[in-house]
Structure 1
Amino acid sequence: MQINVNGIDTRYVLSNEGGGPWLTFIHQLGGDLSIWDQLAGYFRDDYTVLRYDVRGHGKTSVSNQQFSVADLSQDLRGLFDALGVEKTHIVGMSMGGMIAQQFALDDPARIDTLTLCDTHAATPPEGRALWDERAATVRRDGTKALAQATMERWLTAGFRNSHPEVVEQIREVFENTSSEGYAHACTALRDFDVRSRLNEVALPTLAVAGRHDAGTPPAATQAIANAIRNARFELLDAAHLAPIEQSQRFTALLESFLQKRV
């Protein structure tokens, strides 16, 4: 389905076989809503599951102007308004986790629970140049230039070797991501910083990290959990896409977390 949100033609998928509480999934940089296919299939019998392509990703339009994570949070608000979502559980991974943090600060009353995966609350000063380099690379050579290194960073060698079909699907989505959309998002993530405000978040929060995540070290996700009152932190035997690599374990964690609060 397509809908116009803040002037951006936005793709979303709604699965509401169960007609239960809303559950919203937000994907990573260089991904799209398909990363959540398996999880959406599992939860759709008990929840109204919403997935969407973030601005500049998948089949959602590319913005002509630079945007911030705060703008992406407003996109999410616009999507909720258009679909009549009054309150939802939110699960965000990597970039999706940053959007989720920002939305929790912007519209906390619209969130039931917050699940943050393999994400951080700010780019450290020494990491800012990396985002600029990635943006420059994809503008010059396209996202394919970063694909192999990204797959190696996102998923452990063991998983890549045993699940080549999953890796191929994730890689294909990454390589088909708009270069300009990816570059704009790199700049948005470079400038994201909500560390000083996380103590304002009073929502039930589950933070999940991959033990082998080199790009976003587990300590960064744990720092978010430490800053949010009564947040729970879980470490999985995975790299950056922990909910995908350890899908069964993550599904069990999320199901238990949600059931306690439905």
Structure 2
Amino acid sequence: MQLNLNGIDTRYVLDNEGGGPWLTFIHQLGGDLSVWDQLAGYFRDDFTVLRYDVRGHGASAVPRSPFSIKDLADDLAKLLDALGAPHTHLVGMSMGGMIAQQFALDHPTRVATLTLADTVAATAPESRAVWDQRAAAVRSGGMAALAPATLSRWLTADFQAAHPEAVEQIREVLQNTAPEGYALACEALREFDVHERLNEIRLPTLTVAGRHDTGTPPSATQAIANSIQGAQYELLEAAHLAPVEESHRFAALLETFLETRV
């Protein structure tokens, strides 16, 4: 399904067999809504599950001008408005976790619970150049050159060897991401910083990190939990895409977390 949000044609998938509370998943940089296929299948009998492609990713249009994480959070607000969802449980991974944090700060009454996986509350000054380099790399050479290093950060070697079909799907989505959409998102991530506002979040919060995540150290995700009153922190045996690599464990954690708050 497609909707125009803030001038951007946006793809979304809604699974509402259960007709229960809304549960929204937000994907990572260089991903799309398909990264949540397994988890959506797990939760759709009890929740109204929403997934969508962030602007510039998947089948959503590439904008013609720069945008911020705040703009991406506003896209989500417009999507929920269009679908008639007053509030939702919110799950974000990596870039999706940044969007989820921003959304929770901008629209706190619309978030029932907040789940943040493998993410940060701010881009450190020493890391800003990395995002500029990645943006420049894909603008000059396309997405293929980034794929090997990206996948090695996203998934452990053991997982890649044991689940080649899952890895190939993730690789294909990454390589098919529009270079300009990816580059603009890199520049948005470069500017992201909400760490001084995290104590404003008064929502039930679950944070999850991968022990073997070299791109986003677990300490960064744990720092978010430490800054949000009552937040829960869990460490999984995974790399950056912990909800994918440890999908059964992540689903169990999320199910337990949601059960106590629905």
TM-score where L is the length of structure 2: 1.00
Partner Cα separation in structure 2 for residue 247 and residue 204 of structure 1: 21
Kindly state the Cα deviation for residue 21 of structure 1 after the two structures are TM-superposed.
0.2
The amino acid of 2:115's aligned partner reads: T
Structure 1: runs of 5+ lacking an equivalent: none
CA offsets 1:3-61 (integer angstroms, 9 cap, x no match): 11110000000000000000000000000000000000010000000000000000000
CA offsets 1:230-249 (integer angstroms, 9 cap, x no match): 00000000000000000010
SS in 2 for 1:50: strand
Number of residues paired by the alignment?
Answer: 262
Partner Cα separation in structure 2 for residue 66 and residue 4 of structure 1: 18
Q: Which residue of 2 aligns with 1:120?
A: 120
Q: Which residue of 2 aligns with 1:154?
A: 154
Regions of 4+ moved over 2 Å: none
Partner Cα separation in structure 2 for residue 80 and residue 37 of structure 1: 20
SS in 2 for 1:115: strand
Pairing 1:234–2:234 present: yes
The amino acid of 1:163's aligned partner reads: H
CA offsets 1:132-187 (integer angstroms, 9 cap, x no match): 00000000011111001000000000000110110000000000000000000000
The amino acid of 1:14's aligned partner reads: L
Partner Cα separation in structure 1 for residue 2 and residue 125 of structure 2: 38
Structure 2: runs of 5+ lacking an equivalent: none
Kindly state the Cα deviation for residue 117 of structure 1 after the two structures are TM-superposed.
0.1
The amino acid of 1:255's aligned partner reads: E
Partner Cα separation in structure 2 for residue 235 and residue 7 of structure 1: 39
CA offsets 1:193-239 (integer angstroms, 9 cap, x no match): 00110000000000000000000000000000000000000000000
For residues 88-237 of structure 1, what are the structure 2 equivalents within 5 Å? 88-237=88-237
SS in 1 for 2:186: helix
Partner Cα separation in structure 2 for residue 4 and residue 89 of structure 1: 23
Q: Which residue of 2 aligns with 1:45?
A: 45
The amino acid of 1:249's aligned partner reads: R
Partner Cα separation in structure 2 for residue 104 and residue 6 of structure 1: 19
The amino acid of 1:185's aligned partner reads: A
Partner Cα separation in structure 1 for residue 95 and residue 199 of structure 2: 20
SS in 1 for 2:161: helix
The amino acid of 1:201's aligned partner reads: I
Partner Cα separation in structure 1 for residue 77 and residue 8 of structure 2: 13
SS in 1 for 2:63: coil
Structural RMSD (CA): 0.4
SS in 2 for 1:215: coil
Over the matched positions of the two proteins, sequence identity in percent amounts to: 72
TM-score where L is the length of structure 1: 1.00
Partner Cα separation in structure 1 for residue 14 and residue 56 of structure 2: 20
Q: Which residue of 2 aligns with 1:55?
A: 55
Partner Cα separation in structure 2 for residue 125 and residue 71 of structure 1: 22
Partner Cα separation in structure 1 for residue 16 and residue 104 of structure 2: 24
Q: Which residue of 2 aligns with 1:249?
A: 249
Kindly state the Cα deviation for residue 86 of structure 1 after the two structures are TM-superposed.
0.2
Partner Cα separation in structure 2 for residue 253 and residue 108 of structure 1: 23
CA offsets 1:103-144 (integer angstroms, 9 cap, x no match): 000000000000000000011111111000000000001111
SS in 2 for 1:123: coil
Partner Cα separation in structure 2 for residue 215 and residue 108 of structure 1: 29
SS in 2 for 1:240: coil
